[in-house]
Amino acid sequence: MIESKEVHSLAAQYGLDPLTASILIHRQMASPEKIAYFLEGSERFLHNPFIFPEMEKSVNRVLLAAREDEKVLIIGDRDVDGVAATVIMVEALRMVGIESQWQVPVGEADYGIDFETLQESAKAGVSLVVAVDCGITSFDEIKLAGELGMDVLVFDHHMPRGDKLPNAYAIVNPRIPGSYPFDGLCAAAIASKFQWALSLAQSPLQDYCLLIARQEAGEIEIEAVQMHNLLESSRLSVSSAAGGADRDKLQDYIGTRPIISYNCIAQIPLVSAFFNGSEVHIIDAAPEIAAAFPKLENLSLTELEANSRIARYSPQEIGPLSTLRNLMVSMQLNSMQSHFEVWRRGLDLVALGTLADLMPLWDENRILVRMGIDRINQIGGEHRIALRELLIKLRLHERRIATTEVSWQICPLINAAGRMGQADIAARLFFETNPIAITKLAHKLFELNKKRRALGEYLWEKLLPRAYQSLNDFSGKMLILVDSEIPRGITGILATRFQKALSPVAVIITVKDEKASGSIRCNSTINALSWLESASHIFEDFGGHPQAGGFRIPSAEIAQLNQISQKWINRVKPGKTESTRPSVDVELSHQEISRLGLEGIEDVLKRLEPYGQGFRPLIFLTREVKVFQASLVGKPKNKHLKLLVSLGSNRWPAFWWDGAENYGSLIKIDKEVDLVYKLDRDYWRGNDARRLTILEASPCEL
């Protein structure tokens, strides 16, 4: 039970309504470092891309390629995230004048970097290869690239193999331990981070020193911080009490960097006295900060700190120097708005990649997806025409779409191209600006999706009897299916379907002559990487995430893979099974619902968007809900329940999927029940209204 004191304290601290505060506390998202991503929506609250240890090295290598007019090849993957990352990277390189070549797997082509492509590219004069959504396990391929005289940049989010990394020129991967504050970025987001870093690299002020001096007990105390790429790289505290030693230390620390302070009328005399009267040139940040943010004019650093939004979420970083640092970063970002326009245009694809790859909607993913969804919904201005065309064909263009529509309608459509061996069509669609060409490519996507569905159903029916046999062979713990008819792009979707329907672990393998490749999918209690590692000695290549992975294997080794899998599944210890019962976020009384009204509830729902992986839609409980109408609906068996119920002072439509069995027992007209529900939208026949989606019902307590 959430104590009202805790709720009111959080609400007062961040200016929240009690309902929002209560939900965030229940979701364990109320700490300062987490709550910022729910309450803020600008890029200022994203992590600086130069936190990645090798981001600057990557940026410098691309800038060198631009200066030297080098040939660059971008290699991506066939799924939504891989295609999105490829498009973003091409657009990023265009920012600096590089018109790169690009490729994604087509037909039965292998995933990732391959030897043949490298050899052909070297002959064509390519000197820089950029791998997106792949490359972290391409040890031999990257070694060959080096031997052929090509540098390789890897922008990947798949798990490294332990502490082993390929010998690439630079690697940017949030899953490398200690490399980044958040490891949940998809490949499109990582490519976007690189694009942002390229924009930051155009800042006229890359290296400088911030300095604050004060006088205490007759001594001058100075704090200084070195800034590089808008990141604090180090701090130094010195005192005149230490004499020449600290003067030399500060002089060496500053070096040739520009010195910036705040309110130099007071600062210059103190710094000059610290250096025994020497003349010191200090740039006053106050006028520029006031010009960028007029409301801050004539405020002291203490007053600025009290009004700082960033300080609200970083209570450990207090003091005038941190305040000045934050203001300088905000001012520089504000002054570079035009440089970030291309980056912002790519956030629609970041949202697609994040949602399609089921990345957690925590941390900065919340801001990236929120900004991306806004971009997708934008009608005028710099929206992507191709996405607008897909929305029109999906009949989603006349209303605002959210993560649900992106995840369940747009992403599967784009994925169909890669699954049917034509991922290049999806990429070409996103690059295209000609309306006629866009219409033709969008039509092809829809046709491929139809073929993908038909093929999926055919293969499901074909493989289902063998699936039961394999499940029996593995004592009901996993299944492995091998078939030469399965296209490489379909193995993952079939593995997902079989895993959800029949087994904790499903492995689907397609065989083409002497080569085979496949996908593994696991439920949340079993780690797919554990299985991949157990058979690593017979795989030609493998990689993935804890619940999903892919691999290549000689077809002659499949029999041995079955033996290895038998031993593995017998010794693996599944983790705890997650409860399937809905977890109620907050109980809403009829009085609270009446007080908030539909508009107030809408505000709460919108404030906590986006919803998805790691942050499911809100679930409410309301007691003593009266049922006014109830009917069975659904073809052909009338297995759903359509209701009209009391909620607050109004009557609300409600729907209970597969709830027909409760009609006449739990659900009776003119009777009351306790309801657990979500608030969804009903778009049936052009409607756009809120309705309850019922998850559970129980008799009212006597």
Beta carbons of 286 and 262 less than 8 angstroms apart: yes
Residues 136 and 239 placed together within one structural domain of the fold: no
Is the same domain home to 97 and 140? yes
Residue 462 has a CB neighbour count (10 Å cut-off) of 14
Last residue of a domain, one of 335, 366, 385: 335
- Tell whether 144 is covered by a domain: yes
| CA-CA-CA-CA torsion sign (448, 451, 453, 455) | negative
Name the pairing type of β-strands 620-633 and 672-682.
antiparallel
Q: Is the peptide bond before 636 cis (omega within 30 degrees of 0)?
A: yes
Return the exposure string of 553-592: e unless at least 16 CB atoms fall within 10 Å of the residue's CB, then b.
bebebbeebeebbbebbeebeeeeeeeeeeebbbebebeb
* Nearest residue to 364 via CA among 626, 44, 64: 44
The answer to whether residues 242 and 311 belong to one domain is yes
Task: Say which CATH number the domain at 566 has.
Answer: 3.10.310.30
Question: Residues 381-410: what's their mean pLDDT?
Answer: 88
We report the CATH number of the domain holding residue 592 as 2.40.50.460
pLDDT at 683: 67
The pLDDT-based confidence of 565 (bands split at 50, 70, 90) is very high
Spacing of C-alpha 323 from chain mean position = 29
Q: Give Cα 344 to chain centroid, integer Å.
A: 15
Map tokens 């997650």 to a residue. 578
Backbone angles phi, psi at 332, to 5 degrees: -65, -40
Based on the domain organization, do 173 and 219 belong to the same domain? no
543-562 pLDDT, tens digit each: 888 889 999 999 999 999 99
**At 312, is the pLDDT very low, low, confident or very high (cuts 50, 70, 90)?**
confident
Q: 663: which strand partners?
A: 667
Q: Taking a C-beta distance cutoff of 8 angstroms, is the pair 662, 686 a contact?
A: no
Q: Mean of the pLDDT values across residues 568-585?
A: 80
Instruction: Judge if 147 and 212 occupy the same domain.
Output: no
The DSSP line for 211-247 is EEEEEETTEEEEEEEEEETTEEEEEEEEEGGGTHHHH
Strands in 515-522's sheet, in edge-to-edge order, are 479-483, 505-512, 515-522, 548-554, 541-545
What is the chain's length? 702
In DSSP terms, 631 is beta-bridged to: 642
DSSP string, 268-331: HHHHHHHTTT-----EE-HHHHHHHSGGGTT--HHHHHHT-HHHHH-TTS-SHHHHHHHHHHHH
The partner residues of 677 in beta bridges, in order of sequence, read: 620, 694
3-state secondary structure 575-615: CCCCCCCCCCCEECCHHHHHHHHHHHHHHHHHHCCCCECCE
Please check whether residues 122 and 182 belong to one and the same domain: yes
Give the single-character DSSP code of 67.
Answer: H
Taking the C-alpha atoms of residue 445 and residue 451, their distance in angstroms, rounded to an integer, is 10
Residue 189 lies in a domain: yes
Give the C-alpha separation, 548 to 399, whole Å. 34
The predicted pLDDT at position 701 comes to: 66
- Whether the upstream peptide bond of residue 610 has omega within 30° of 0, thus cis, is yes
Predicted pLDDT of residue 1 = 43
Look at residue 577 in the predicted model and tell me its pLDDT.
64
H helix runs in 517-572, sequence order? 528-534, 558-571
Contact by Cβ (8 Å): 468, 425: no
d(CA 151, CA 72): 10
pLDDT tens-digit map of 616-654? 999 999 999 999 999 999 877 888 999 999 998 889 999
pLDDT at 464 over 80: yes
Question: Contact at 8 Å (CB) between 432 and 445?
Answer: no
Q: Are 308 and 256 found together in one domain?
A: yes
Question: Is the confidence at residue 146, as pLDDT, over 80?
Answer: yes
Do 231 and 165 share a structural domain?
Answer: no
Lowest pLDDT segment from 202-206, 303-307, 333-337? 202-206
- Residue 590: band (very low, low, confident or very high) from pLDDT cuts 50, 70, 90: very high
**What rounded mean pLDDT belongs to the chain?**
91
Using 50, 70 and 90 to split pLDDT, how confident is the model at 688?
Answer: low
Confidence at residue 686, expressed as pLDDT on a 0 to 100 scale: 54
Q: Which of 24-38, 352-366, 681-695 has the lowest mean pLDDT?
A: 681-695
Q: Is residue 251 part of a domain?
A: yes
pLDDT at residue number 382: 64
Residue of higher predicted confidence among 163 and 23: 23
Q: Are strands 505-512 and 515-522 parallel, antiparallel or unpaired?
A: antiparallel
What total number of domains does the chain contain? 5
DSSP of 161-218, one letter per residue? BTTB----SEEE-TTSTTS-S-----HHHHHHHHHHHHHHTT-S--EEEEEEEEEETT
Instruction: Decide if 87 contacts 75 (C-beta within 8 A).
Output: no
CB 196 within 8 A of CB 172: no
pLDDT surpasses 90 at 572: no
Handedness of CA 580, 585, 591, 593 (dihedral sign): negative
Q: DSSP letter at 112? A: S
How far, CA to CA in Å, does 302 sit from each of 15, 225, 305, 307, 700? 22, 18, 5, 9, 56
Does any domain span residue 405? no
Q: Specify if 94 maps to a domain.
A: yes
pLDDT of residue 96: 94
For residue 295, is it within any domain? yes
Identify whether the C-beta of residue 509 lies closer than 8 Å to the C-beta of residue 536: no
- Grade residue 578 by pLDDT with cuts at 50, 70 and 90: low
Same domain? For 256 and 219 the reply is yes
Rounded CA-CA distance 251/491 in Å is 62
> Which CATH number do you get for residue 319?
3.30.420.10
CB neighbours (10 Å) of residue 95? 16
Domain of 24, in residue numbers:
4-39
Handedness of CA 198, 33, 179, 111 (dihedral sign): negative
Share of the chain above pLDDT 70, in %: 97
Q: What percent of the chain has pLDDT over 90?
A: 72
Neighbours of 3 (CB within 10 A): 9
CA atoms within 13 A on the CB side of 475: 7
480/379: higher pLDDT: 480
- Residue at which a domain ends, from 282, 313, 335: 335
Residues 100 and 128 in one domain: yes
Same-domain pairing of 602 and 664: yes
Residue 300 reports pLDDT greater than 50: yes
CA dist 295 and 244 (Å) reads: 41
Q: Examine the fold and report which residue of 547, 571, 595 is the final residue of a domain before the chain moves on.
A: 571
CA distance 121 to 576: 48
Are 66 and 192 in the same domain? yes
> Which tokens belong to 257?
């960097």
Alpha-carbon distance of 574 to 531, in angstroms, equals: 12
For residue 457, is it within any domain? no
Across 438-484, the runs of DSSP E, i.e. the strands, are 479-483
For the cut 80, the answer to whether the pLDDT of residue 383 exceeds it is: no
C-beta separation of 148 from 78 below 8 A: no
Q: Quick one: pLDDT band at residue 183, thresholds 50, 70, 90?
A: very high
The residue whose two tokens read 């490891």 is 183
- CA separation for the pair 43, 35 (Å, rounded): 15
Is residue 452 domain-resident? no
- Are 471 and 479 contacting, i.e. CB atoms less than 8 angstroms apart? yes
